[in-house]
Structure 1
């Protein structure tokens, strides 16, 4: 009986998968927000001239540090 209790007991200090996924999703959303803000400022600097949205977004992505 004691061995069964010991086997059921969690002895490792691991992060549950759901917490890891939540952190990754949060980081992804943070990065998307940073990219969007940077792209917005690029557009603003150009006077909101249409037709450069993708260029602004890609330039903002390229500036994001790789962690």
Structure 2
């Protein structure tokens, strides 16, 4: 019985540290937005902003 309880706690802790795709993309999009805002929303840098934000997020 105690072993099963420990496994459930471990699984719950593991789930808290998991970042689901919609959350991940939303956080990257927010970072990319602030990068674009810092440039005054100059067009043509959208992909660069996204890739830089994604790289920062992964670090």
Across the aligned residues of Structure 1 and Structure 2, the Cα RMSD in angstroms comes to: 2.0
Is 2:27 the counterpart of 1:34?
yes
1:54 and 2:47 aligned? yes
Give ranges in structure 2 of 5+ residues lacking alignment. Answer: none
Secondary structure at the counterpart of residue 58 of structure 2? coil
Runs of 4+ in 1 over 3 A off after TM superposition: 12-15
Per-residue CA deviation, residues 8-63 of structure 1 (Å, 9 max, x unaligned), is xxxx7788xxxx8xxx7x71110000000000000000000000000000000001
Structure with higher helix content: 2
Looking at structure 2, the residues matched to 42 and 65 of structure 1 have their Cα atoms a distance apart, in angstroms, of: 16
**1:45 aligned to 31, 38, 46, which one?**
38
Matched residues, number = 47
Q: What's the TM-score once normalised by structure 1's chain length?
A: 0.58
